[in-house]
Structure 1
Amino acid sequence: MQFVKMHGIGNDYVYLDCVRNPPPADPAALSRAVSDRHFGIGSDGLIMVCPSERADARMRMFNADGSESEMCGNGLRCVSKFVYDKGIARKPRLAIETGRGVLTVDLELKNDKVSRVRVNMGEPILKAADIPTTLPGDPPVNAKLSLQGVRFEATCVSMGNPHAVFFVGEDFFVGKRDLVAEFGPQIENHAAFPRRVNAHFVRVHSRGEVTMRTWERGSGITLACGTGACAVGVAGVLTGRTDRKLVAHLPGGDLELHWSEADNCVYKTGPATEVFTGEWPA
């Protein structure tokens, strides 16, 4: 089985061409196998590039634990690069079918290869029942959440998958205790999130700049989360902390975000990188 290893600012996945080749019989099991960083290829999960009747290609995404997720913003940029660079559709603007519908991407080319991608991530989903969360509010903004005696304030957004954003202080980014690893699993599996949740811890530098770290549902700590960065941009506006245009610094790199007032959609721009190709034994 031929594969391509790609990453979007460190959020890495194994990609399969299921347009030209049959899909794996058990993608959940395959995702667990290839994602293992000691005995597999090493990744945050598996992404299948599939044919679509509605778009240029369809994206199916599996986390490292084998669970299927609706969306991955960094993965979507890499799918766009895969579709263009591998000749599935050679157009500067592509339509990709995802778990949250068909999304439009604009490609930035360098030497006839995709280097950066601007994605229209669609409108944020702000109704609590649709996120989903049982926290109060539509959406929940600065909703109280207590873990091990520590009080947090969660602002919840869905970008096709659920996110809880926590604006925190310096202690989440420096120090001997890894507080993201400590609290991330508890938040992911908290009863307030019936389909689990991605947890993001954010330090605001200015109205146009933040640093964030992520505990990703089904994968743990990752270097980047594209849908999460979009959720952070929305949460910053909802809580009055940031403007609609934002640069988010993630451990793997930076993303440019814009929650447009014109169409209420969130736009995300960032790189997509191919690392290597290989063959996985069937």
Structure 2
Amino acid sequence: MRFIKFVKMQAAGNDFIVFDNRKKVIKKNYSKLAQGLCRRNFSIGADGILLIESSTTADFKMIIINSDGSQANMCGNGARCAALFAYANKISGKTMKFETGAGIIKAKVNGFKVRITLTEPKDIKLDMNLRIESREIHVSSVNSGVPHAVILSPNIEQVDIASIGRLIRNHTQFTPEGTNVDFIKVIDEHTIKIRTYERGVEAETYACGTGCVAGAIIAGLKKMVKSPVKLVTSGGEKLNVYFSRSKTENLLIPIYGLQLEGKAEVIFEGNIPHAFPSRQNAGLRR
């Protein structure tokens, strides 16, 4: 029986199953593979899978499949895991660039700490009033690689993320794709506490890299924080976001030069049967 090697990695509590797929060992059924492998308690368990593939324009290409089988354009913590994986496996040097669905991402590895430079933010909207059941919620939004809705929440510890997050994620304002949802509490001008309901995982996650960037962008636009910003995540890990502000108050790109930094690490390595991706329900049921 042939086997496919994988590496289980995590960054700020976001965990991923990573495959070196440059030789196209996994040819299809990415969605079923992710659904099968990411089921916690029944399989390896993860927020998603990362496929490292060949690129003609960069050091490699990163494909992200969420635990529900959907494909994501970008994942900040996944990108940091991919960068560490690429360096450890001699796919790239300590500095690199790689393809994502959101565009080219640059990264630099320094020990277990990885800093990535993201694409410029877009689709910025501040202070929308959304009707959620019987009340109005003030929401801002930005695409920091993937779409995010950001809500200022002074009582962030008491927020029912599963309920409110799901309602905002599926709100008509964000159709048809939906959005990730970030609840932030500004502690001081360099510190934010954040909780995220993640699209594709459909639950609160320990951290979301692009969510941390989105939270820093919105708080920065409101002049509540200054770079660098430390984001304290649900899992207790801390991520740093760096940015520059436009001196001319450029409305197209008021904040630019976005970077995300934090630790990433390998948890364990293993192998799955080569036939796993093609089995019914990704091999979960015999």
TM-score, L = length of structure 2:
0.87
> How far apart in 2 are the matches of 1:47 and 1:199?
22
Q: Is 1:259 the counterpart of 2:261 in the alignment?
A: no
Aligned partner of 2:263 in structure 1 is 271
Percent identity, aligned pairs only, is 30
Q: Secondary structure at the match of 2:126?
A: coil
Which residue of 29, 45, 50 maps to 2:48?
45
Aligned partner of 1:144 in structure 2 is 129
Once the two structures are superposed, residues 182-215 of structure 1 have per-residue CA deviations (whole angstroms, 9 ceiling, x without a partner) of 1111111111112110000011111110100000
Which residue of 180, 183, 195 maps to 2:164?
183
Segment of structure 1 superposing worse, 151-160 or 6-15: 151-160
Aligned partner of 2:148 in structure 1 is 163
Q: Secondary structure at the match of 1:28?
A: helix
Q: Is 1:228 the counterpart of 2:207 in the alignment?
A: no
Q: Is 1:238 the counterpart of 2:235 in the alignment?
A: no
Aligned partner of 1:130 in structure 2 is none
> How far apart in 2 are the matches of 1:81 and 1:116?
9
Aligned partner of 1:117 in structure 2 is 114
> How far apart in 2 are the matches of 1:184 and 1:279?
35
> How far apart in 2 are the matches of 1:163 and 1:82?
27
Q: Is 1:214 the counterpart of 2:196 in the alignment?
A: yes
> How far apart in 1 are the matches of 2:157 and 2:74?
26
> Is the contact made by 1:124 and 1:265 (CA closer than 8 Å) also made in structure 2?
no
Runs of 5+ consecutive residues of structure 1 not aligned to the other structure: 110-114, 128-138
**Cα drift, residue 151 of structure 1:** 2.1
Aligned partner of 1:106 in structure 2 is 108
Q: What letter is aligned with 1:200?
A: D
Runs of 5+ consecutive residues of structure 2 not aligned to the other structure: 247-254, 277-286
Q: Secondary structure at the match of 2:69?
A: coil
Segment of structure 1 superposing worse, 230-239 or 68-77: 230-239
Q: What letter is aligned with 1:28?
A: S
* Pairwise CA RMSD: 1.4
**Cα drift, residue 240 of structure 1:** 2.5
> How far apart in 1 are the matches of 2:272 and 2:127?
46
TM-score, L = length of structure 1:
0.89
5 Å-filtered alignment, 1:9-48, equals: 9-48=12-51
**Cα drift, residue 21 of structure 1:** 4.7
Aligned partner of 2:282 in structure 1 is none
> How far apart in 2 are the matches of 1:18 and 1:186?
36
